Amino acid sequence: MTQTARMYGGSLYELAVEEQLVEAIGGQMEEIRQIFHENADYMKLLSEPSVPWEERTKLIDEAFGSQAQKYLVNFIKLLCERNILREYGSCCEEFRRRYNADHGIAEAVVTGAVALNDSQMEALKQKLEKISGKKVSLLQKKDPSVVAGLRVELEGKLLDGTVQSRLSGLSRKLDEIIV
């Protein structure tokens, strides 16, 4: 994450806290982030310096003006004006990071070969909450290269319970014994 994204995303978060709009702005930021992701050409158009600033702000108002918080719409316009709209996704991450820090939430990513069902996700979430002492926001990813077991990333720590990890550990131990 760039210093620019930290500064702008953090400033928007502080404004949202001050105006008591953290939940509303945070949710809308993620929705707009998804829209930008799904419509890369729209993002390019808003970032194009050859398109006059007035036209770009008009496009932003037409797309989001009546649906999104005015502070968020103005934030997007500001990024557009300063030609740093490409930082929007990182600004969203900084906003979420600051929110999580203020609310004692730890983000975790669980990776497995197959998707966990709801009860398995809930059990894993409860276990991770015991480990971290925080409320856990759990994101699930599927990776067929993980033959069996789970790999969990929690607050910069890797908890690797995959078969691959265990086999690698056994292989290292055998190499140590043989040498």
Q: Report the pLDDT averaged over residues 78-98.
A: 94
What average pLDDT does range 144-171 have in this prediction? 77
pLDDT at 179: 57
Confidence of residue 151 (pLDDT cuts 50, 70, 90): confident
pTM of the shown model = 0.73
- The whole-number average pLDDT for the span 134-162 is 83
User: Model confidence over 105-131: pLDDT tens digits?
Assistant: 988 898 888 888 899 999 989 988 888
Residue 106 contacts residue 136 (beta carbons within 8 Å) = yes
Per DSSP bridges, beta strands 157-160 and 150-154 are antiparallel
The mean of the pLDDT values for the chain is 89
Question: Please, what is the angle between helix 88-103 and helix 3-18, to 10°?
Answer: 50
List, for residues 45-68, the tens digit of each pLDDT value: 999 889 998 999 999 999 998 899
Q: Are 109 and 21 in contact (CB under 8 A)?
A: no
| Structure confidence at residue 82 (pLDDT) | 92
Domains belonging to the chain, first-starting first, are 3-100 (1.10.520.20), 107-178 (no CATH)
